[in-house]
Amino acid sequence: MRQLKVGLAAALAATMAVAGCGSPSSNNGSSGGGGAKGIETQENAFDPTAKGPAAEVPGAKKGGVITVYSQLTPNTFDPTDTYYADALAIEKLIFRSPTQFAIRNGKPVLVPDLTDLGTVSSDKLTWTFKMQSGIKYADGSEVKVEDLAYAIKRSFAHDVFANGPTYQLTSFKDGDKYKGPYASGDAYAGVETPDPTTLVIHLARPFADLPLYMTFPVFTPIPKAKDTKENYKNNPLATGPYQFDTYTPGTELKLKKNPNWEPNTDAVRHQYADGFDFKWGGEEAKTQQQVLNSAGEDASALNYGPIDASLIPQVTGDKKAQLIQGEQPCTYSVQMDTRKIPLEVRKAVAKAYPYDQVNKAGGLNSFNSQPASTVLPPSVPGYTKYEPLPGLSGVGQGDPAAAKADLETAGKVGFELSWYYDNTKPIPQQTNQIRVDALKAAGFTVKPIGVTTAELRSKIADYNAPVNMGQAPQGWCSDWPSGGSWFPVLFQTHSITDNLSWGELSDKELDAKIDEIANLPADQAVAKWGELDKEIMGKYVALPRYYGKLAFAIGTNIGGAEGDASAGEPLYLNMFLKN
């Protein structure tokens, strides 16, 4: 998904780490599962037997309104158009989807929601989902399987809902032809509903991660008769425990209880608070301080922005209990273009890179980041810890002498490295100079190209630009917790033309290996993604710098607060007020 955090975004811009999240490739033929060595096995990442009601949160009480602050404003609450992590987290209160993630011991576990976890055909091109009965919308009308099918059809209207996820466009049958119900009508060969409890999805190619993808609100049911197209975002029909009360776009969203939500059918959600009041636009550090002070109503509030650095002394001191920490499914890196920089030079860059200096100047700390050495972050099943080079673990001041010796051996002293940076702000200027000094000391010729903030995003997205380092995406966040939302998108040959490549690799053998793993059943792909992670990074296509971390402030009256590792956002579903 697309992560958009105010405090961390500043650090990213300062350190050349512009993150892309969740944009599928135009040729992404399949996705696989993932697991983890020492983190989470894929067998434990699925629980097809989970049923409602969700287990009670210890000490939970009912009543009251929880206030939620953020400087950043979600761009939409239309489920078809939602792709940013903050809105996705909020919408779990409002929308139910075919499947959903339960957070157990801090890790995401896929469980049934509106449907089961699905059954795939022997040729892997047809998935069948069985729907629960007795589920209603907030207006009391019955949720029908045809509404699930209509929502899927609606997601193909990408001319109307341009911001939503698009894996269905490339993986579902006729996804390249069907343009949604407004332009192409209701007849779509990729979806059928043979009876009142069965949803069938036909694929153009195997998509083993489909049950994981179906946690997205793009799959929440929408009755055709209630679809108001562009206006649906202003008052969408709820299936979760809360519904819209009042909404002022860009400023405030008040949620109230959905009286027709049935907890006995829901394995992950609760309805402890009477409502939620989301308030956007206030200065982050100011509202975080209000939450920490917890005077009056602010005791029942939280702020979901990254904790401001100025407040760290408080949350490491007497207000330590008011800081909730967790994982984000994101890895940030510095790319090296393998088409332009030879392997032995890429290794020398890795040895010389001044991680500690750049991170400190960019405002990174243990609350918003963790040193990285891999592609997959710890929160994603499939993560296996390793170091591409001895001592290369996202920390250290670099070893220019060792790097220069390697360049001398390779006959590459003076090799030119070039990149773009923002020359209009002091922090990017400072971090740029740190890189220049370190790489010059290692024997490189350097050519940083300063551009304006407005130009930077388009410049780093141009793979034909006259640079060989630092192109986008310089970070990635999972669409779902599996290697299948990483490697097919970032490392296959098509990733170059998709402008989503780490290292601009073009390797037919690697392409085939990724497809082979992606076509495996999820439980068999576990170790394979971890092995592939290490193999790819052995080519030094990028310098992993840090994994994102979650740290947000809560008031003293908030209970049940924790992070959602599947999204790197607060998990609102278990929150309650203590008094």
**Residue range 488-516: mean pLDDT, rounded:** 93
11: pLDDT strictly greater than 70? no
* Alpha helices, H only, 442-564: 453-460, 487-490, 494-497, 508-518, 526-537
The CATH number, out of the four listed (3.40.640.10, 3.40.190.10, 3.40.50.10610, 3.10.105.10), of the domain defined by the range 1-23+57-72+281-579: 3.10.105.10
What beta strand segments (E) does 126-175 contain? 126-130
If we measure between CA atoms, which residue out of 570, 564, 576, 574 comes closest to residue 215? 564
Beta strands 475-477 and 19-21: pairing type? parallel
DSSP secondary structure of 409-466:
HHT-TT-EEEEEEE-SSHHHHHHHHHHHHHHHHTT-EEEEEEE-HHHHHHHHT-TTSS
Q: pLDDT tens-digit profile of 212-229? A: 999 999 999 999 999 999
- What pTM value is reported for the model? 0.85
Q: What is the pLDDT of residue 386?
A: 87
Handedness of CA 375, 565, 364, 70 (dihedral sign): positive
3-state secondary structure of 329: strand
The pLDDT confidence band at residue 391, using thresholds 50, 70 and 90, is low
CB 502 within 8 A of CB 491: yes
Q: What is the pLDDT of residue 42?
A: 34
Q: What is the pLDDT of residue 72?
A: 87
Q: What is the pLDDT of residue 241?
A: 98
Tokens standing for residue 460 = 């780093």
Which of 467-481, 504-518, 519-533 comes out lowest in average pLDDT? 519-533
**Residue range 525-532: mean pLDDT, rounded:** 89
Q: What is the pLDDT of residue 35?
A: 28
CA atoms of 197 and 538, how far apart (whole Å): 48
**What number of H helices and E strands is found in the chain?**
17, 22
More confidently predicted of 32 and 176: 176
Q: What is the pLDDT of residue 17?
A: 36
Q: What is the pLDDT of residue 521?
A: 80
Q: pLDDT tens-digit profile of 130-183? A: 999 999 999 999 999 999 999 999 999 999 998 899 889 989 999 999 999 999
pLDDT over 90 for what percent of the chain? Answer: 76
Non-local (6+) Cβ contacts of 192 within 8 A are: 149, 200, 202
Q: pLDDT tens-digit profile of 538-564? A: 888 999 999 999 999 999 999 999 999
33: pLDDT strictly greater than 80? no
Handedness of CA 405, 408, 412, 415 (dihedral sign): positive
The pLDDT confidence band at residue 388, using thresholds 50, 70 and 90, is confident
CA atoms of 28 and 293, how far apart (whole Å): 48
The CB density around residue 175, as the number of other CB atoms within 10 Å, is 19
CB 182 within 8 A of CB 43: no
Q: What is the pLDDT of residue 38?
A: 29
36: pLDDT strictly greater than 60? no
CA atoms of 506 and 478, how far apart (whole Å): 22
